[in-house]
Amino acid sequence: MDCGLYVVATPIGNLGDMSQRALEVLLGVDLIAAEDTRHSLRLLRHFGIDTPALAYHDHSDQRALARLTDCLEAGGSVALVSDAGTPLISDPGYRLVRQVQDRGFAVHPVPGACAAIAALSASGLATDRFLFEGFLPSRPGSRANRLAELQRETATLIFYEAPHRVQDCLQSMVEIFGGEREGVLAREITKTFETIRRGTLESLAEFVAGDHNQQRGEIVLLVAGKEKQDGDIRPETAALLERLAQELPAKRAAAVVADLTGLKKKRLYDYLLAQKTG
């Protein structure tokens, strides 16, 4: 195994998502740096891995860092894992990766589960551009300020949210983005009670308020980016739409392009009507 730091993704719920390479790396390294050793030891034991583990987070003291870099200096290899998913994504590791690189050692990613990407991939929202926001501030005023800053963002927005705050957060989103904006609640991804629900923010807020179970477990919230005004339909989208409208009824052409781009069907249809009437 090559010397260096391996940043190893672990499952976000379903242990079947542990990759073969992740197992080989965790078995092969000399030391595992874990966000919470008790938590990670359960996972490692499940897979029969008994590599020594050490607690590491971004505020660990110099001794923990020294032990990791000593191991690298001696030609060894270290794996970094977090409690679940990809380390550094709303998890510790950023400082360690930089310091290891600055000391001239290689850092190798071992990719796997990440709640943000898993949620996006199954959301039905546009994926061509997205903005990962991580956790919003927990104080209502600060959260509202941050949402207001994002109000005009046209990329799909991805947030991590704590279950006890999801209802208030959705309510805030309704107030700031408007209840008609589309969003997705992605809860307990890969687990028994997995829920992926797409709807207007208003309908999601009602859904969560009306079912206490939706305020439990692990949650990703996604919000469709702000739509550009009619005149802003991209030239390539307009060309596709116009070409399709030569083959299909305008409504059908608009529906196909809406599926492909995430734009509103009605807006695309209105665009075609406007074209027709000159």
Give the binding site for ligand SAM (CB under 6 A): 12-13, 82, 84-86, 89-91, 114-116, 160-161, 186-191, 218-220
Residues facing residue 184 across a β-bridge: 198, 222
Nearer to ligand SAM, 191 or 264 (CB): 191
Residue nearest to ligand SAM (CB): 85
Least gap, CB of 12 to ligand SAM (angstroms): 4
Least gap, CB of 190 to ligand SAM (angstroms): 6
Nearer to ligand SAM, 205 or 245 (CB): 205
Least gap, CB of 74 to ligand SAM (angstroms): 29
Nearer to ligand SAM, 219 or 224 (CB): 219
Least gap, CB of 188 to ligand SAM (angstroms): 5
Nearer to ligand SAM, 3 or 131 (CB): 131
Between strands 182-187 and 107-110, the pairing is unpaired
Find all residues with CB under 8 Å of 38, minimum gap 6, and list them.
none
Least gap, CB of 93 to ligand SAM (angstroms): 9
Q: What is the DSSP string of 170-237?
A: HHHHHHHH-TTSEEEEEESTTSTT-EEEEEEHHHHHHHHHH-GGGGSS-EEEEEPPPPPPGGGS-HHH
Nearer to ligand SAM, 150 or 219 (CB): 219
Specify the residue for token string 């075609």. Answer: 272
